[in-house]
Amino acid sequence: MECIKGNGVFYIIFATQTRILTFSPTTNPHDNMSSSVTVYTIGGSKHIGYFASLRLLDAGATITFLLRNPSVFDKDTTIQKYVSAGKARLVKGDALNEGDCRNGWVEASKDGPCQLYDFHSWRRGFILGPERGLILKPFNLCTQAYINVASTIPAQSSPNLICLSSVGMGKKSKSSIPLALRPMYGMIGSPLADKHGMERVAHHLGGITWDKNDLGEPSAEMMGGSNWTKHPGLPEVGSYKGKVIVVRAAILNDGECLADKKENAYRATTEELGGYFISRKDTGHFVAELCLGSWEKWGGKVVNVGY
């Protein structure tokens, strides 16, 4: 991610061409990061959101974390270093509560308009259904949270938005999944349905074409009602055109960040990927480093990442 100095605008652009990109760990995008960049992140207490946040903090950003339990960072000496320096702000709140989302925006914007909203899906709990696999509770956690946060963006702000999703959205994406992994995706139908709804909101905000023949439509129940686009405060369709990134990751694992050690560690493409896995750390690397270092190559698209 690159901050354009002097105008207070923080751009996130997708590749304007469909192509495979490979990345070099020798790139130093931090040279383009201004210490004035402010980030509001949901789901940043662990996994991809956490790893991406550490990289952004190290690059000089100021990050506001909305956390149901801020004490999660009490023993995290790395985060506490940034808290002491005023670069990490911990706000107690629940993204399912619009008032809490609004409070997070206020904190993130207290030194000026927030420039980046970084949303990472997270999970509170599952139940195991005998026929439907893992069932998310609540079933529309990410979808409703994304609507809440988008509906409470301050009037003076026009942040850029990152939404972390998953491969397996729509017929085309599902057909690209390796045969050996398809049973696994069948077991996570509930979380995928939630991300499907979340993506629908992200596409709405960014004015990204939603191919109903491929993607269908989320249920009214998932979206909180059939008139979800009229949710109070939700921006009109295309209000953030060119300012939304939807990142679809392959199946995640807890491996190391290979991109820190070698070139071409993972792939990213606006076409279907057909990959197997990617580590959470490498996905965090893509969010924080390659969007940052390849600003002019991205814009209003969906990108798939995997090995």
pLDDT, mean of each 10-residue run, the chain (307 residues): 27 24 34 66 92 94 95 98 97 96 95 76 47 66 95 91 92 93 87 95 97 97 97 97 92 96 94 93 91 70 93
pLDDT for position 36: 66
Q: How far apart are CA 292 and CA 296, in angstroms?
A: 9
- pLDDT at 303 (0 to 100): 93
Give the separation between CA 106 and CA 243, rounded to whole angstroms. Answer: 21
| Cβ atoms 221, 196 nearer than 8 A | no
d(CA 52, CA 16): 24
Q: What pLDDT is stored for residue 3 in this prediction?
A: 26
**How much is the pLDDT for 114?**
84
46 closest CA partner among 143, 103, 124, 141: 124
Q: Which pLDDT score is estimated for 11?
A: 26
pLDDT of residue 186: 83
> Would you state the pLDDT for residue 1?
26
What pLDDT score does 43 carry? 87
